[in-house]
Amino acid sequence: MLMHQGIGLEEFNTMTSARAVHALFECCCNVTWAQKVADSRPFGSHEELLAMADKQLFALSSADMERVFDTCVHEHVDNRSGDELGRITRIRLEKMLGPEEGYPEY
């Protein structure tokens, strides 16, 4: 379970670097990836953030990618590919951010 859920893009963009890295680390369990994505803020849309996340994910070494699968991916996967890790990471990032249009006011 992620500690940072539904925080929204605006909140993510204004977090301190350390908090942003922590939130991202929950999604992929790689500090290098999390730092590079956090350093790319601010993002104008969820899609911009997801595109940068994918870019930095595919820049990981094969050893780093294996470590992510070993330590962070708890669901069953048929293959340990970058595409599969990207799919899982995107789902977690979307949970972290919440809906792009935000939550309704009650």
Domain locations in the chain as residue ranges:
9-97
Q: In the structure, what pLDDT confidence band is assigned to residue 46 with cuts at 50, 70 and 90? A: very high
Q: Contact at 8 Å (CB) between 52 and 41?
A: no
- Listed in sequence order, the DSSP H helices in the chain are 9-14, 17-28, 31-39, 46-58, 62-71, 82-97
Instruction: Label residue 64 exposed, middle or buried (CB < 10 Å: 0-12, 13-18, 19+).
Output: middle
CATH number of 9-97: 1.10.3330.10
Residue 1 has pLDDT above 60, yes or no: no
The pLDDT tens digits of the residues spanning 50-80 come to 999 999 999 999 999 889 888 887 777 788 8
Q: Extract the tokens encoding 26.
A: 């929950």
| pTM, 2 dp | 0.88
